[in-house]
Structure 1
Amino acid sequence: MGFQQGLSGLNTASKNLDVIGNNVANATTVGFKTGQAQFADVFAASLTGAGSSPVGLGSKLSTIVQQFTQGNITATNNPLDIAINGGGFFRLTDPSGTPYYSRNGQFQVDKNGQIVNSQGLRVTGYMADDAGTIVQGDLQEITIPISDIAPQETGTSASATGVEAELKLDSREDAIPVATAFDSTDPSTYNFSTSTSIYDSLGNASILTMFFRKTAANTWDVHTTVTPPSGTPIDITPATVPTIVFNSDGVIDAGLSTELTNGAFTQAITAAQLGTGASNMSFRVDFTGTKQWGGEATVIDLAQDGFASGSLTGFTISDDGILLGRYSNGQSKNLAQVVLANFRNPQGLEPQGNNLWADSAASGPAVLGVPQSGQFGALQSSAVEDSNVDLTAELVNMITAQRVYQANAQTIKTQDAVLQTLVNLR
């Protein structure tokens, strides 16, 4: 009798419809991966192996395989929405430290500053040290620090840049007689000036003003003043006034320029001159690239390496998973780096619901790495990965599964008719 075969066919067709229905229901679920029901026949054979052509006993559900193909990327307005473009899973942990894995990158910051998903699971990665260097190898739950960024005194950066001034001075200017004393308040005693902010050890801003005074052909003296927060300018020109001498082509002549080393001199400011409670300052003032040509004097570039303290105002996440903090003082610093996980056999992951998977013996252990390296894809901030469900294909599969269900029901109906005929024999 074919009742067993027809019944197994109904069961498998029903399971197939369940899987298709689940796919359709999750067509808008972020990070969802399509499931595919796979079936196998039920082979019938006696223990002695008798029979050369045994009839099978129907079909059975072999497994439900998830298709980890890439979903479309959709932009959002949340900087903590993160899409994975390529391989890998976000690694999340619960309060007990148990790891879970997900492709759903809809995150937010909780009251403790930790980046979490909608279930409160915490995103893990590598944290940065105070200097902004990512410390790889020490896997932690990512926490956004609430502390301010410390001020940096001008001239104390890793490269000790100090003040860099690239200018164009006007070769047509008349020289000012040596007998005319320099006076920062009298424009007739200098030819050109420019200013920039500098910062002391406490992050207080003062104004450094540089005055350029032409004393002879191709020769310029440099005088400096500082205006501390008190507001009164103070002459801080070195005892031996720095002099810039230009060649006939308008380029600095390093050999003839006095008090300059490689186009720069050292500017000192005492704590008493600052009056802010900060320590003494000393930094380079570099004129590399400065020219003397015919034409109005202009500032080409003027920069310095100090800054005041600042509070965190926002952050962005780069393609390689680095969380970059932006501060109110215009500075930025690395805060952390998101870590991704991958598996030798992603099909072996155990679904946990809520867009989560757990590793298993079938999946193998998680292999961790940073985005854009090896088997790991790139991250895209302010975006999510859509479900990879193809609604058109699923609806066609649904029609096919329905017809298969009807066909199996028809075999049962036919077998019933045959049995009825036998029962009615006289």
Structure 2
Amino acid sequence: MDLFRALQTSVSGLQAQSYAISNISGNIANSQTTGYKRVDTSFVDMVTESAPKREVAGSVLAQSQLTNSIAGNIISTTIPTNMAINGTGFFTVMQKTGDANNQPTFDKTPLYTRRGDFAQDKDGYLVNGSGAYLSGTTTNPTTGETTTGPIKIGNYALKAQATTTIDYGGNLPATPTVTAKDSHLYNPSTASLKVTTTDGSVTPDLATASATDVSDLTNNSILGPQLTMYTETGSPVTLSTRWAKVQDADPANKKDAVWNLFYQSDTISTPPVWTNVGMGVTFDSSGQMKQPATGVIPIAPLTVNGTSFGSVNVNLGKSGLTQYADATGAATTSNLNQNGSAAGTLTSVSMGVDGKINGAFSNGSIVPIATVGIAQFKNPDGLKANSDGNYVQTAESGKPDAGLNGSTITGSSIEQSNTDIASEFSKMIVTQQAYSANTRVMSTAQTMMSDLLNVIR
């Protein structure tokens, strides 16, 4: 019976090595397939039941060993919606099943893939090279509506947004340079050109520089920041400002340095009209801002050439504005932004490392328009290969957890196959030798059986 067992064992060896060469063949064939995960072969011995002193090496069983958790190399592409996962996780995708009322329909069963060569189809959906539709969360920036399912990038347009906040940071010189007498900077000679302090030395009024006051103001102040603001309809309006110092720091008398901010409220008149925002900005002897304590200068209302922006807050932050010595005697700006914008249309998209698809609009705004669906599995090698580089959840893989979980997304890139051609050729040589050796076992066992039969005859 041992000869028959030898024949059976060699047959199992042939079957196992055939299975291995099949996996090697598939790996080599898919060495250039985006996101492909090679299938290795593991061998398990099958020992027959026998006494310890009579054990016989048994047959062999070949099993697949998946490498879903082993990443391939990431290479750059020129398509902005191509993406690769740096780390663990899978893209969540769906399969199209047909069309209804000129709208595609999808299988509700989620699939998972590492193939990230996504590009827009004719309807704006993101589809990879194997026809799988990327799913996630889409946010319409026009309406704010959020939907979950296949990601579709539409011809979005942003509404105009009026400016309500100005973020400003910089430095005011401790000893400003002006073209007139320095004393005029601290004590404007025109009574109607009122200034505001926070220590009560001057009545806090909101004053307007009339035509007769303009030269006095411009000669005894320094240029502040200038920026473009936007109305509710998206019309751009230029806001020009000036800083006037109205009080020096006097530690002996417990007085802080005080500055007033003016803005040009009428650019059409000759000369133009400047308006005091009505709040003194104070600095201690070390140059740190003390007032406003909240770091915000409210301007209510802010009006330029008859156009009212309503209440606009100039956000300085707690330490965004300082008063340090400056050799030029000029105000410097380190941060200047505002939250208004004109209407805009979508011009391009890009991938963020956080999995968000960001839309760039013609008005300069960059807004997240979608979030890519990413799934994590405790045992990714327990997933079952479906087709076209997709996998389905199994009991062995566990349930999916949503999110990157420490991984990142690289845009304009794809993940290559994790197949190593040199390694596959090495395994092919070993497999071929093992296959040939099993055939020699079969022929040897057959010869021995023939010899036994000849003895009987």
When residues 66 and 207 of structure 1 are mapped into structure 2, their CA distance, relative to the original with a 3 A threshold, is: same
5+ residue gaps, structure 2, are 96-105, 194-208, 249-256
Task: Give, as a single letter, the amino acid of the residue that structure 2 aligns with 1:178.
Answer: T
2:359 to 325, 343, 361: 325
Distance 1:282 1:311 in 2: 28
Q: Deviations over 1:28-72 (max 9, x none)?
A: 222221212233445557xxx9998476773343x3121222223
Match of 1:37 among 28, 38, 41: 41
After superposition, what is the alpha-carbon deviation per residue over 1:194-236, rounded to whole angstroms, capped at 9, x for unaligned?
53211111111011122456778777665433578xx778956
The residue that corresponds to 1:158 in the other structure is none
- Determine the C-alpha separation between the residues in 1 that align with 2:58 and 2:290: 96
Hey, what's the Cα distance between the residues in 1 that align with 2:58 and 2:279?
101
Aligned counterpart, 1:416: 446
Supply the AA of the counterpart residue of 1:83: A
Q: Secondary structure at 2:311's aligned position in 1?
A: strand
- Distance in 2 separating the partners of 1:196 and 1:203: 15
How many correspondences in the alignment?
Answer: 401
1:115 to 94, 108, 126: 126
Q: Which residue of 2 aligns with 1:389?
A: 419
- Does residue 342 of structure 1 match 2:376? yes
Give, as a single letter, the amino acid of the residue that structure 2 aligns with 1:407.
Answer: A
Cα 1:144–1:226 change in 2 (3 A) is: farther
Decide which moves more: 2-11 or 395-404.
2-11
**In the TM superposition, what is the alpha-carbon distance from 1:12 to its structure 2 partner?**
1.8
Q: Which residue pairs with 1:358 in the alignment?
A: 392
Query: Aligned partners of 1:345 and 1:316: how far apart in 2?
Result: 31
- Does the 8 Å contact 1:132/1:335 carry over to 2? no
The amino acid that maps onto 1:144 is I
Alpha carbons of 1:333 and 1:408: their partners in 2 closer, same or farther (altered >3 Å)?
Answer: same
- Residues in 2 aligned to 1:261 and 1:342: alpha-carbon distance in whole angstroms: 44
Residue equivalent to 1:400? 430
Identify the range of structure 1 (11-20 vs 288-297) with the bigger mean alpha-carbon deviation. 288-297
CA contact (8 A) 2:140 2:156 kept: no
Distance in 1 (alpha carbons) for counterparts of 2:279 and 2:52: 109
Please state whether the residue corresponding to 1:124 is helix, strand or coil.
strand
1:61-80 to 2 correspondences below 5 Å: 61=62, 63-68=63-68, 69-80=70-81
CA contact (8 A) 2:93 2:110 kept: yes
Partner of 2:312: 283
Describe the shift of the 1:9–1:205 C-alpha distance in structure 2 as closer, same or farther (beyond 3 A): same
DSSP-derived class of the 1:315 partner: strand
**Distance of 2:402 and 2:424 partners within structure 1:** 34
SS, match of residue 268 in structure 1: coil
Partner in structure 1 of residue 344 of structure 2: 310
What runs of 5+ residues in structure 1 fail to find an aligned partner? 156-160
CA distance in 1, matches of 2:393, 2:295: 60
Q: Secondary structure at the match of 2:442?
A: helix
Shift of 1:410: 0.7
User: CA offset at residue 92 of structure 1?
Assistant: 0.5
Q: Which residue of structure 1 lines up, in the alignment, with residue 232 of structure 2? A: 201
Partner secondary structure for residue 371 of structure 1: coil
The secondary structure found in structure 1 opposite 2:264 is: strand
RMSD of Structure 2 on Structure 1 (CA): 4.0
Query: Within 5 Å, which residues of 2 pair with 1:21-420?
Result: 21-41=25-45, 53=54, 58-61=59-62, 63-68=63-68, 69-94=70-95, 95-128=106-139, 130=141, 139-155=148-164, 161-162=165-166, 164=168, 166-168=170-172, 171-173=176-178, 174=181, 175=184, 177-178=189-190, 183=211, 190-191=218-219, 192-194=222-224, 195-212=226-243, 222-226=261-265, 235=272, 237-238=274-275, 242=278, 244=280, 249=285, 264-269=297-302, 273-274=306-307, 281-285=310-314, 289=321, 291=323, 293=325, 295-301=328-334, 302-364=336-398, 366-373=399-406, 377-420=407-450
- Kindly state the Cα deviation for residue 237 of structure 1 after the two structures are TM-superposed: 4.0
TM-score (norm 1): 0.78
Q: Distance in 2 between matches of 1:241 and 1:392?
A: 74
Determine helix, strand or coil for the equivalent of 1:104. Answer: coil
Aligned residue for 1:190, secondary structure, equals helix
The CA distance in 1 between the partners of 2:384 and 2:132, in whole Å, is 17
Q: Does the 8 Å contact 1:42/1:60 carry over to 2?
A: yes
Q: Distance in 1 between matches of 2:129 and 2:212?
A: 62
Structure 1: which amino acid aligns with 2:423? A
TM-score (normalised: structure 2): 0.73
CA 1:249–1:81 in 2, change beyond 3 Å: closer, same or farther?
Answer: same
What's the offset of the Cα at 1:107?
0.8
User: What code does the residue aligned with 1:202 have?
Assistant: T
**Alignment-mate amino acid for residue 77 of structure 2:** T
Greater Cα offset, 98-107 or 213-222: 213-222
User: In 1, Cα distance between the equivalents of 2:9 and 2:294?
Assistant: 94
Residue 382 of structure 1: CA displacement?
2.4
Give the whole-Å Cα distance in 2 for the aligned partners of 1:236 and 1:281: 18
